[in-house]
Amino acid sequence: MDLLRVKKGFQLAGVDTGSTPGFLGKKKDSTGALDEGAGVFSHLQEMFYANSRDGDPRKILLVLQAMDTAGKGGIVRHVVGSVDPQGIQYTSFKAPTKAELTHDFLWRIRRHAPRNGMIGVFDRSHYEDVLIARVRSLAPAAEIEKRYDQINQFEQELADDSTTIVKVMLHISSDEQKSRLAERLARPDKYWKYNPGDVDERMRWDGYQEAYQVAIDRTSTGAAPWFVVPADHKWYARLAVQHLLIDALQRMHLDWPAATFDVAAEQARLAAS
Amino acid sequence: MDLLRVKKGFQLAGVDTGSTPGFLGKKKDSTGALDEGAGVFSHLQEMFYANSRDGDPRKILLVLQAMDTAGKGGIVRHVVGSVDPQGIQYTSFKAPTKAELTHDFLWRIRRHAPRNGMIGVFDRSHYEDVLIARVRSLAPAAEIEKRYDQINQFEQELADDSTTIVKVMLHISSDEQKSRLAERLARPDKYWKYNPGDVDERMRWDGYQEAYQVAIDRTSTGAAPWFVVPADHKWYARLAVQHLLIDALQRMHLDWPAATFDVAAEQARLAAS
C-alpha cells in the first residue's frame, strides 16, 4: 500500500477522492476481497497476540482521522471488527472534558497507547488538537505551532517503544459528504448519527482541508507515516485500511512462538491428571 | 433461555455438560443459526447504542466464568466479535497486581463497569475472588465469606444503575478439559495457549466445582442471575450465550431514537451548504 503513503510534495487537493489506487476490481469484487483479507488479517493478528504472551513487545497503532461521514465507523466495524476483540484496544476521542483540559493535550492520548501484542485504534486522536483547534482557534496560533513538534516527539517515543504507527486520513469530497449527510436526514434509523454541528463544521470545509494539509506536511515522518485513503467509495477505503494493517503485520515476519515448557513432560503430567 | 437460568436447588453436578438445552438441531445446523443470530444481535446492539446517544442510561454486563479451556475465548471471538467493536468494553481480569491488591477486591472491577449503551464483557471477574481464592486459600475463610454479600451488593448497585447483568458459567466435564489441553500440547500453533499452571488447577477440579456451587448458591439473585451453559459442545455454548445477549436486548423493547433536531430545517441548512 505504498501507493497511499504520503511523500514529499504531497498535495491533498490533488487526490481524486473517487479513485481506487492499487485495486483493479470494481465494487462487486470488493466483498470477496474483503472477506479473503479478513481471514489473512485475523490469522496474522492471532500470531501477533500470541507472541506478546511470549515477551514480544511489539504493538500497532492505527490512527483514524477524517471529515464527518467519511467512514471511520465503517472501518472500525468492518475491518477492525473482523479480528478477535481480545486483541483490540479501541478508543474514541471526543471533545476533551474540563478535567482533560487541565492537562497537556497529549495526556489523555498517552493513557490509551496500545499494550504489547495489541492493535490500538484511535477514532479521532491528538490530531484534533491541530485540526479543529486550528480551524476554530481553540488555542493560540503559537501553541498550535508547537504541537506539531510535540506530536512528532510523542510518535517517535511510541515507535521507539516498538509501535508500528499507521496514520490514516479517509479523504472524501465535499459533494460526497453532502449526500451522506442527506441520507442521515432521510432515514429515521440514521437520525442518531446526525448532529447539527456537522453542518457547522462542513461550512468550514476549506479551513479543514488546509489544516489537514499542514498537519500532514508537518507530521509525516519515517516513524509515523500518513496514508491518505480516497474514501468516496466506502468499499475501497475498507479494503485499503485492511491492507495497511495486513502489511504492518506481514512486515513483522511472525511465526507461532515456541513452547516455553517441556512438551513431553507436560503431556505426561496431563495424562496422569 | 430461561432453561439455563439457575433456580432454587440447582446442582452443578447434575448438569449434563454434553447436553444442548433448547436447541433441537445438531452441530451442522449451528453455523447457520449462529450467523442468523449474529445479524439479529448486531441490529439490536446498534439500536441499543444509538439510544444511549439520546440519553438512555442502560447498559449490559456479561460476566464469563469457567474452568480453563471451557471456551471463554471462543465466546468473545465468535459471539461478542459479531457486533461493532465500538459498542463493546472488553476486560480480561488476570491475577491482581500488587497495586490492585492494596485495594478492596472490587476496586479494579468497578473501574470497568460498562458505560451507557455499552456491552461490558468480563473475561473472568470478581468471582475469581471467591473461586481460586477459596480453592487456594488466598484469603482467610471469613474474608471470603463476606465477599459473597459484597458481590451481591455491588451487582445490585449496577442493576440499580440500569445494568442488565448476565452471569455465565461455561460448564465442561473433566474429560473434555483433558482432551482440549491435550490438543494444545499436540499443536505448535496452540502452545501459546497452554500454561503448565492449567494442570495444577486441573488437579483441584473437585475443589473448583464445589467453589462454583457455593458461589452460584450465594450470588444467584434477581438482579444478577447465573446461567450455567453446558459447554462440551463449543457450538452450543456460543449459540446459547448469543441468545442470552439477544434476550437481554429484546427485553429492552428498543426502537430507533427520534430526531432531537428539526429534520426539515436541517435539510434546508444542508442544501444551502
**B171's grid cell:** 460448564
Q: Which residues of A touch B189 (CB under 8 A)?
A: 256
Q: Which residues of B touch A90 (CB under 8 A)?
A: 85-86
Spatial separation of the C-alpha atoms in residues A238 and A224, rounded to whole Å = 20
Per-residue pLDDT of chain A (273 residues; tens, 9 = 90+): 689 999 999 999 999 999 999 998 889 999 999 999 999 999 999 999 999 998 999 999 999 999 999 999 999 999 999 999 999 999 999 999 999 999 999 999 999 999 999 999 999 999 999 999 999 999 999 999 999 999 999 999 999 999 999 999 999 999 999 999 999 999 999 999 999 999 999 999 999 999 999 999 999 999 999 999 999 999 999 999 999 999 999 999 999 999 999 999 999 999 999
Residue B25: what pLDDT? 87
Distance to chain B for A7, nearest Cα, Å: 32
Q: In this complex, how many residue pairs, one in chain A and one in chain B, have their CB atoms less than 8 Å apart?
A: 116
Spatial separation of the C-alpha atoms in residues B180 and B213, rounded to whole Å = 23
- Interface probe for A, chosen from B67, B75, B84 (most Cβ of A below 10 Å), is B84
Q: Which residues of A touch B124 (CB under 8 A)?
A: none
Mean pLDDT of chain B: 97
DSSP string covering B109-120, please?
HHTTPPPTT-EE
Q: Which residues of B touch A192 (CB under 8 A)?
A: 50-51, 53-54, 256-257
Alpha carbon distance, N-terminus to C-terminus of chain A: 51
B176 pLDDT more than 80? yes
pLDDT band at B245 (very low <50, low <70, confident <90, very high): very high
CB pair distance less than 8 Å for B182 and A270: yes
Q: Which residues of A touch B80 (CB under 8 A)?
A: 85
ipTM of this complex prediction, to 2 decimal places: 0.93
Distance to chain A for B83, nearest Cα, Å: 8
CB pair distance less than 8 Å for A191 and B88: no
Residues of A with a Cβ under 8 Å from any B Cβ are: 50-51, 53-54, 73, 76-77, 80-81, 83-86, 88, 90, 92, 121, 123, 178, 181-182, 185, 188-189, 191-194, 196, 199, 202-203, 256-261, 263, 266-267, 269-270, 273
CB pair distance less than 8 Å for A266 and B194: yes
Q: List all residues 6 or more positions away from B188 whose beta carbon is below 8 Å from its beta carbon.
A: A256, A258, A259
Residues in chain B: 273
Residue A25: what pLDDT? 87
SS3 of chain A: CHHHECCCCCCHHHCCCCCCCCCCCCHHHHHHHHHHHHHHHHHHHHHHHHHHHCCCCCEEEEEEEECCCCCHHHHHHHCHHHCCHHHEEEEECCCCCHHHHCCCCCHHHHCCCCCCCCEEEEECCHHHHHCHHHHCCCCCHHHHHHHHHHHHHHHHHHHHCCEEEEEEEEECCHHHHHHHHHHHHHCCCCHHHCCHHHHHHHCCHHHHHHHHHHHHHHHCCCCCCEEEEECCCHHHHHHHHHHHHHHHHHCCCCCCCCCCCCHHHHHHHHHHC
CB pair distance less than 8 Å for A192 and B90: no
pLDDT band at B112 (very low <50, low <70, confident <90, very high): very high
CB pair distance less than 8 Å for B192 and A53: yes
